[in-house]
Amino acid sequence: MHFGGATFSVNEGEFVVILGPSGAGKSTILNLLGGMDKPSSGEIIVGGEDISKYTDNQLTNYRAENIGFIFQFYNILPTLTVLENVQIVNDIVKKPKDAREVLKEVGLLKHESKFPNQLSGGEQQRVSIARAIAKDPILLLCDEPTGALDSKTGVEVLKLLKKQCDANEGANTVIIVTHNSLIAEIADRVIRVKNGKVESNEINKSPKKIEEVEW
Ligand SMILES: Nc1ncnc2c1ncn2[C@@H]1O[C@H](COP(=O)(O)OP(=O)(O)O)[C@@H](O)[C@H]1O
Ligand SMILES: [Mg+2]
């Protein structure tokens, strides 16, 4: 993808960390990749197609079928139960995973009837992960997914993101945007950004296991 000074590419199946300080353009990159924003110039090639040329309808389909999004502050709906927050996906994608099945995967089945304000921050983030994973997206985009969590809870969240990356025989791509350089230690690829530009894009030859990092 390239827009302005931000040119980079990643391979299918990678666990990617985009690292940079606040204001570097990380969220902008993620929103462009997710089809939530359009670049003023440049192109964004995903799976061989330039999504920057898509019509609004095409972008809606692209987001619905291919993209999972995880935000720093969860963005789950306060008036829906945990289960209902995940079942929303049934209205969006053709072949959603079973919502209860996914809640079991993230360890939240016992809370399925609770509302978000009855859960901890880490639990709420796991609901948002369950919602994203229920779509079984080929591209999971995570904007500071551990930014509001303590390190122990953050580790649980990263484990779930890694698991999604390894699903589908490793074909899923996960991109995490963060200012926390520790997260880069577990990535297959690290892209450093600053002032709206990509400074480096490197394969991590020996990614650490999540447990090996001193959080
Ligand atoms: N490549 C770029 N070209 C032009 N403006 C950019 C670019 N990347 C980011 N910006 C602008 O820089 C500001 C900060 O970007 P943002 O994505 O919110 O940063 P971050 O998430 O890293 O804190 C925003 O106003 C955004 O529109
Ligand atoms: Mg941001």
Q: Whose CA is nearest to atom 7 of ligand 1?
A: 196
DSSP state of 215: -
32, containing H or E segment: helix 26-33
**Closest C-alpha residue for ligand 1 atom 9:** 25
Q: Separation of 109 CA from ligand 2 center, angstroms?
A: 31
Residue 174: per-residue pLDDT: 98
Predicted pLDDT at 175: 98
Instruction: Look at residue 2 in the predicted model and tell me its pLDDT.
Output: 67
Cβ of residue 96 lying under 6 Å from some atom of ligand 1: no
Residue 77 pLDDT? 98
At 211 the pLDDT is 93
C-alpha to C-alpha distance for 12 and 190, rounded to whole angstroms = 14
DSSP letters spanning 112-181:
TTS-GGGS-HHHHHHHHHHHHHHT--SEEEEESTTTTS-HHHHHHHHHHHHHHHHHHHHT-EEEEEES-H
Ligand 2 center–CA 185 separation, angstroms: 20
Looking at residue 6, its pLDDT comes to 80
Instruction: Pick the ligand that lies closest to the CA of residue 26.
Output: 1
> What's residue 3's pLDDT?
64
| CATH for 2-207 (3.40.50.261, 3.30.70.3280, 3.60.40.10, 3.40.50.300) | 3.40.50.300
In this prediction, residue 119 carries a pLDDT of 98
Q: Any idea which ligand is nearest the CA of 198?
A: 1
Take residue 90 and report the two structure tokens written for it.
């049934």
In Å, what is the CA distance from 208 to each residue of 9, 91, 186?
Answer: 22, 38, 5
pLDDT in tens, the chain (215 residues): 666 678 899 999 999 999 999 999 999 999 999 999 998 889 999 999 999 999 999 999 999 999 999 999 999 999 999 999 999 999 999 999 999 999 999 999 999 999 999 999 999 999 999 999 999 999 999 999 999 999 999 999 999 999 999 999 999 999 999 999 999 999 999 999 999 999 999 999 999 999 999 98
